[in-house]
Amino acid sequence: MKSRSNEVPITDTITLKRVMIDLGANALQVKKYTKKYDIPYIKIGHRWRFTREAYELLKEKLTCRSSTINEESTGRLKVKFGSGNTQSALDKVQSLIKKEMQSQ
């Protein structure tokens, strides 16, 4: 019997659904960024799973990306966007800028 050195127990993996909830993204976004940043994943049938290390790497890549976008587009404001809200991203940024200007 062959030994597989890269086997990971299923209990040490994180489901795509959990990643979606934690990142506030949908499945297509998570898969897109996983492929874009060459994040390793495990596919069991049609289901995706991530090791904890891969999940942390994905979070790090997305955090760096969002920080750069926020700094460029809104100055010193840190904007967090999540799913479940009907307000567009542009509307959120505009309302945050307006609040910031009014408080000064």
Residues 29-52 have pLDDT tens digits of 999 999 998 999 999 889 999 999
Q: What is the pLDDT of residue 89?
A: 62
The rounded distance, in Å, linking the Cα atoms of 23 and 61 is 12
Whether residue 28 is contained in a domain is answered as yes
**Would you state the pLDDT for residue 44?**
87
* pLDDT value at residue 6: 67
At 67-85, the pLDDT tens digits run 544 444 445 555 555 544 4
Q: What is the pLDDT of residues 5-17, one digit of tens each?
A: 567 777 789 999 9
With respect to residue 73, please indicate whether it lies within any of the assigned structural domains: yes
Residue 36 lies in a domain: yes
Instruction: For residue 94, give the nearest of 77, 69, 82 by alpha carbon.
Output: 77
Distances (CA, A) of 50 to 11, 99, 102: 11, 39, 44
Structural domain includes residue 60: yes
Instruction: Provide the number of structural domains found in the chain.
Output: 1
What's the Cα-to-Cα distance from 73 to each of 12, 79, 90, 97, rounded to whole Å? 38, 10, 10, 11
Give the residue numbers spanning the domain of 62.
10-103
Q: Record the pTM.
A: 0.54
